[in-house]
Amino acid sequence: SLSKCTFGKAAFLKWPIIRGVVSFVDGLVVGTKCLMYSAEIAGDEEDEKEAAKNATLTEEELSAKKAKEAKQFQWLLYITVAISIVVSVAAFMLLPYALASLLRKVGASEVGVTVAEAFVKLALFMGYMLLISRMKDIQRTFMYHGAHKCINCVEHGLPLTVENVLASSRQHKRCGTSFLFLVMIVSIFLHFIFVLVPGYWVRLFGRLLMVPIVSGVSFELIQWAGRTDSRLADILSKPGLAMQKLTTKEPTADMAEVAIAAVEAVFDWREYLKEEFGWKPEENEEKNADI
């Protein structure tokens, strides 16, 4: 949530558009922390030499060493997030424009270049998703991604049990895949603003300046789509939901258990069911006993 984000609790961070930028960057930071923590845990099991070396240190030396490692970890985190943003912007925003701009050599107008840029951008994004979805390790990751069925389970008024989670849909309007797809679409439309702007480099840097606005607008759209059942929201959500067939796979029962534990660590789903659906745990237990 925004109140617990990396950037603090300032009121302006919750303003429309700005909250989308904050949420996007905060998601990158948290995701990178989790990946680095996982790598650290995996490494700890193998690093026997380091453990033996630490055993020879005094308490003060060990404390100083841990403080130094924590600082290094923090810097590594910031650098990793910064590189991730730069690579993403370069690959999916600047590269499509640079490739489409080659059409000027055959006399294409700025409108034609912008339309071509849209097709190149979508092709790169779809191609990237298709390629990584064929990797064995990523397929397992997508199975865990599919375990966000937990959210659908709770939002449909069902208690979080493995059986209920596995029976729920793995597609959700607010899924990160839908957000990424919306970023693509919003950037395509907003970049038409630069059609009449003179100068190649002005148009190029203009796209860079639009990155926060694109992520902010996309965030507002996906939040709105997740809150309403209107026809327009359903139409807007369909491409992202279709993409989720690539980026999510059906999880196993143990993966569902992991997802349930993750939800319970950050969200009181029982209280939510009581408030939104009038759920009564006692009645649920009686039904299970009858079964």
The Cα-based distances of 290 to 46, 50, 165, 285, 286 in angstroms read 49, 56, 21, 9, 6
How confident is the model over 195-242, as pLDDT tens digits?
Answer: 777 787 888 788 888 888 988 999 999 889 888 888 888 888 898 899
Q: What SS3 state is found at 15?
A: coil
Question: Above pLDDT 70, what percent of the chain?
Answer: 88
Could you tell me if 146 and 251 are in contact, meaning their C-beta atoms sit under 8 angstroms apart? yes
How confident is the model over 91-139, as pLDDT tens digits?
Answer: 887 888 888 888 988 888 888 888 898 899 889 888 888 888 888 888 8
Average pLDDT over residues 247-251: 92
Identity of residue 243:
M
Backbone φ and ψ of 45, nearest 5°: -70, -25
d(CA 286, CA 241): 36
List, in order, residues 6 or more apart from 200 with CB less than 8 Å away: 101
